[in-house]
Amino acid sequence: MSYDPTNIFARILRGEIPCKKVFEDDHVLAFHDINPQTPTHILVIPKGAYVSFDDFSTKASAEEIAAFVRATGQIAREAGLAAPGYRVLSNIGRDGHQEVPHLHFHIFGGRPLGRMVPNGD
Ligand code: 5GP
Per-residue pLDDT in tens (0 to 9) along the chain, 121 residues: 799 999 999 999 999 999 999 999 999 999 999 999 999 999 999 999 999 999 999 999 999 999 999 999 999 999 999 999 999 999 999 999 999 999 999 999 999 999 888 776 5
Distance 34 CA to ligand 1 centre (A): 6
Q: Is 31 in the pocket of ligand 1 (CB under 6 A)?
A: yes
Q: Which of 32, 97, 102, 104 is catalytic?
A: 104
The pTM of this model reads 0.97
Distance 63 CA to ligand 1 centre (A): 26
Q: Is 32 a catalytic residue?
A: no
The span from the CA of 85 to the CA of 105, in Å, is: 16
The span from the CA of 33 to the CA of 21, in Å, is: 10
The span from the CA of 101 to the CA of 6, in Å, is: 10
Ligand 1 nearest-atom number relative to CA 104: 4
